[in-house]
């Protein structure tokens, strides 16, 4: 099924936005049936995560550009406190907001519509203060729910086609998406959002790994059914979409082979209902997702061996150069994540060309995927410059190979940048609006339908890096959906046969936002019992 790429092509076409599809869409939001934003287990033991975790203090720019190569001088062992830090600053609650007597909780990474469909599970060996097992992370009460007891890394090893990173990693995170949480608002197109929302979390996660001198690999080559069974998710409700290892040199030198059974018994899970009424299932979501499943060891091997095949055309899947960052202000990664939010008003004041160049470079630094070399990328970056000092307004392309900005067309395109982002004034006022695009047909040809997952996920990670890089320079940022074909048409002929993945605007905010806080338990026992 993975090679029947007409399924991915069809899905991409039928979920495109245009002024016509937006205008004639009769979908409405049933606020009484809005999904609950936290997955709460009712019949499984919970472990409180320590709120006294170390604050991440490394320079944010270094955390974004650092490429960890493990060596003996970096012998650091992961424990429960460091794990808590990584989980919180990747997906914890950082803001509490009130609107019309309702309370909303914002998180360390952005999410489309603030609906937060992504859940995080972890599979680990015994580490300090945490037994070996399979766990679910809940940011609401900052706990781990134990789903299985014992070391199940051998299941991951099998599921990933004998990926040695799994054997060396004391912890592997599994990212899933709960379909209804996002499709409640965005319908079938929300499948794209699965990977955008996971990607921005992964951008934070990679920065936090760098802060702690850990390395990581993002794994998309795995047997879907085996991973889903391992964590006990319900079919056509929730699905695994990416794995990410946490590794240190200490774990390479103190390697313990997993000794768990390869037999999985079903998990008897009882969870808080997502919505008050019935959930809507969008068949197109599960058609594209199931068509991109990998089901055997040989399919995994074929997927992960792509990076060794000579037929990958590096003119289309670009290899990135190394650049130099010029910045004066220093921000630690913890402060940047707490300050980060989705900017709601831009001031129209110009950002500097140096800031733009730095953000472009930092967002394009290699991502440690398992299916391509870490120097390769599926994403190209186009942008509209509205207000950048020492750069004329116009349309531009960022050449990753040369780390250079290429001029496509000069002129004032501020109205166009707002129009392309669903006619939102916010993006007309942004200093720069980035459009992350990809040669979709080429990617699907090489990687099958699973390439659709991969390119959307990389787009999300790049967007997350743009967020972090912007706030590292004292700027603001906000992501957006877009009119698909009109974006491609705007940058023609350079953008011919390319598809838009995600858009994000940056600039100087028109207001001073208060930094977020560390919320590690928004549900005390009394509130918890009432909500359940």
Residue 69 belongs to domain with CATH number: 3.40.109.10
The pLDDT value recorded for residue 316 is 42
> Does some domain include residue 199?
yes
Q: Greater confidence, 185 or 100?
A: 185
> Does some domain include residue 431?
no
| Count of domains forming the chain | 1
> Does some domain include residue 73?
yes
> Does some domain include residue 177?
yes
Sort residue 383 into left (φ over 0), alpha (ψ -120 to 50) or beta: beta
- What value does the mean pLDDT take over residues 31-54? 94
> Does some domain include residue 500?
no
- What value does the mean pLDDT take over residues 411-438? 98
- What value does the mean pLDDT take over residues 442-460? 95
The pLDDT value recorded for residue 259 is 52
Assign 337 to helix, strand or coil: helix
For residue 443, give Cα distances in angstroms to 9, 16, 123, 453, 454: 11, 18, 31, 10, 9
Q: What are phi and psi of 388, to 5 degrees?
A: -130, 125
The DSSP output letter for 5 is T
The pLDDT value recorded for residue 381 is 97
- What value does the mean pLDDT take over residues 251-261? 55
Q: Mean pLDDT across the chain, nearest whole number?
A: 90
> Does some domain include residue 430?
no
Residue range of the domain that includes 80: 35-267
Peptide bond into 493 cis (omega under 30): yes
Worst-scoring range by mean pLDDT, 45-49, 375-379, 480-484, 495-499?
375-379
> Does some domain include residue 217?
yes
pLDDT at position 55 over 90 = yes
The pLDDT value recorded for residue 258 is 54
User: pTM to 2 decimals?
Assistant: 0.94
The pLDDT value recorded for residue 65 is 86
The pLDDT value recorded for residue 366 is 83
CA dihedral for 450, 451, 457, 460, sign (positive or negative): negative
> Does some domain include residue 171?
yes
Instruction: Using alpha carbons only, give the angle 342, 276, 96 rounded to the nearest 5 degrees.
Output: 30
Following DSSP, what letter does each residue of 17-65 receive, concatenated? Answer: --HHHHHT------GGGPPPSS--BSSS-EEEPPS-PPP--SBHHHHHH
The pLDDT value recorded for residue 100 is 79
- What value does the mean pLDDT take over residues 56-80? 80
Banded pLDDT at 312 (limits 50, 70, 90): low
């Amino acid at each position: 099924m993975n090679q029947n790429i007409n399924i991915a092509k069809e899905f991409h076409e039928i979920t495109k936005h245009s002024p016509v599809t937006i205008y004639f869409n009769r979908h409405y939001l049933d606020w009484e049936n809005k999904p609950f934003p936290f997955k709460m287990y009712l019949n499984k033991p919970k472990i409180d995560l320590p709120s006294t975790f170390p604050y991440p203090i490394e320079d944010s720019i270094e955390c974004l550009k650092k490429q960890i190569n493990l060596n003996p001088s970096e012998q650091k062992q992961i424990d429960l406190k460091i794990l808590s830090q990584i989980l919180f600053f990747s997906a914890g609650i950082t803001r509490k907001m009130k609107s019309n007597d309702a309370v909303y909780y914002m998180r360390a990474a952005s999410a489309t519509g603030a609906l937060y469909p992504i859940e995080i599970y972890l599979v680990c060996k015994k580490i300090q203060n945490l037994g070996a097992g399979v766990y679910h992370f809940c940011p609401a009460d900052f706990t781990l729910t134990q789903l299985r007891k014992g070391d199940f890394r051998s299941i991951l090893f099998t599921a990933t086609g004998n990926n040695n990173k799994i054997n060396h990693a004391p912890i592997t995170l599994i990212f899933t998406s709960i379909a209804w949480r996002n499709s409640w608002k965005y319908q079938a197109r929300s499948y794209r959002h699965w990977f955008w929302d996971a990607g921005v979390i992964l951008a934070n996660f990679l920065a936090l790994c760098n802060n702690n001198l850990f390395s990581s690999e993002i794994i998309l080559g795995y047997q879907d059914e085996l991973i889903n069974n391992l964590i006990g998710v319900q079919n056509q409700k929730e699905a695994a979409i990416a794995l990410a290892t946490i590794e240190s040199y200490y774990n390479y030198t103190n390697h313990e082979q997993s000794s768990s059974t390869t037999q999985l018994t079903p998990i008897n899970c009882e969870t808080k209902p997502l919505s008050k009424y019935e959930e809507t299932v969008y068949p197109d979501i599960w058609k594209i997702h199931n068509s991109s499943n990998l089901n055997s060891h040989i399919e995994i091997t074929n997927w992960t061996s792509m990076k060794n095949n000579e037929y990958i055309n590096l003119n289309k899947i670009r290899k990135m150069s190394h650049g130099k960052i010029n910045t004066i202000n220093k921000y630690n990664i913890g402060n940047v994540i707490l300050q980060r939010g989705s900017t709601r008003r831009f001031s129209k004041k110009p950002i500097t060309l140096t800031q733009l160049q730095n953000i472009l470079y930092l967002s394009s630094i290699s991502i440690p995927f398992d299916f391509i070399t870490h120097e390769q990328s599926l994403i190209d970056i186009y942008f509209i410059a509205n207000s950048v000092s020492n750069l004329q307004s116009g349309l531009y392309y960022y050449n990753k190979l040369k780390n250079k900005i290429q001029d496509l067309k000069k002129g004032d395109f501020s109205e166009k940048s707002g129009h392309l982002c669903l006619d939102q004034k916010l993006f007309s006022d942004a200093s720069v609006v980035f459009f992350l695009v990809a040669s979709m047909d080429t990617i699907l040809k090489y990687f099958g339908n699973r390439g659709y997952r991969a390119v959307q996920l990389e787009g999300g990670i790049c967007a997350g890096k743009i967020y972090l890089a912007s706030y590292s320079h004292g700027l603001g940022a906000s992501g957006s959906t877009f009119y698909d074909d009109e974006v491609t048409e705007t940058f023609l002929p350079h953008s011919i046969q390319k598809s838009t993945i995600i858009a994000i605007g940056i600039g100087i905010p028109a207001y001073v936002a208060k930094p977020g806080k560390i919320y590690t338990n928004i549900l005390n026992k009394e509130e918890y019992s009432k909500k359940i």
